[in-house]
Chains A and B, each alone.
Chain A
Amino acid sequence: AQSVTQPDIHITVSEGASLELRCNYSYGATPYLFWYVQSPGQGLQLLLKYFSGDTLVQGIKGFEAEFKRSQSSFNLRKPSVHWSDAAEYFCAVVAENNDMRFGAGTRLTVKP
């Protein structure tokens, strides 16, 4: 069965530091991959998606993610974190039946 793993439950970084959030998937065919962000009291907002082509995809708010088929990974990165980036981040993959599977999320805390 398809699955998504986000190994880090909680990450703390200092404002201005770089960020990488990990995502690994288990899926036999070519995956469709997504990153969403959820601020407190709100729904999920799409940051970026990968369907095909260039394995480095750019998203909103200065985020990017790189698809690595050999590692079954789709890690999210940002070169310089802002305090407003503090939120919960979810990786997702579209499964065979076109349903979206989400990871358990990584909570990001930003230190001043």
Chain B
Amino acid sequence: EADIYQTPRYLVIGTGKKITLECSQTMGHDKMYWYQQDPGMELHLIHYSYGVNSTEKGDLSSESTVSRIRTEHFPLTLESARPSHTSQYLCASSEQGVRPQHFGDGTRLSIL
């Protein structure tokens, strides 16, 4: 039933590689988010966007970057992956204002 899609679902890759995690939504939501999730920890916001050409850093310092060229697409890029980037990454979207966020199923990333 998800209208927000993340690919790949799982990725195991070596240190130093450039990685792009894809996130697309079909709901026309203006706001989009990237969270990092580790077991037993709260979700940490790493990037968000209010709309096309808008990107902001979240609370958690991250070496990743994002872009928002189209409303429906919000990819996250790691230029040079390191083992410390091993985590689950969740993408979400919402309407403007105080609205519930809709989540994708996540990308589980392992850096060797």
A4 to B42, Cβ gap below 8 A?
yes
Q: For residue B102, which residues in chain A have a CB less than 8 angstroms away from its CB?
A: 46
Q: A42–B9 Cα gap in the complex (Å)?
A: 10
B58 is an interface residue with CB less than 8 A from chain A: yes
Contact with B along A27-66 (1 / 0, CB 8 A): 0000010101000011111100101000000000000000
- From known contacts A41-B105, A99-B45, A99-B48, infer whether A46 and B40 are also in contact, taking CB-CB under 8 Å: no
Do A43 and B98 touch (CB < 8 A)?
no
Question: Which residues of chain A (59-110) have a CB below 8 Å from chain B?
Answer: 90, 94, 98-105
| Chain A binding surface, main DSSP class | strand
* CB<8 Å pairs between A and B, sample of 14: A9-B40, A32-B98, A36-B103, A41-B105, A42-B106, A43-B6, A43-B92, A43-B103, A43-B104, A43-B105, A100-B45, A100-B101, A103-B42, A104-B40
- B101: chain A residues at CB < 8 Å are 44, 46, 100
Q: Which of B57-87 contact A (CB under 8 A)?
A: 58-59
Report the separation of the CA atoms of residues A23 and B100 in the bound assembly, to the nearest whole angstrom.
18
B25 to chain A, nearest CB (A): 12
**Chain B min CB distance to A80 (Å):** 25
Query: Is B43 an interface residue, CB under 8 A from the partner?
Result: yes
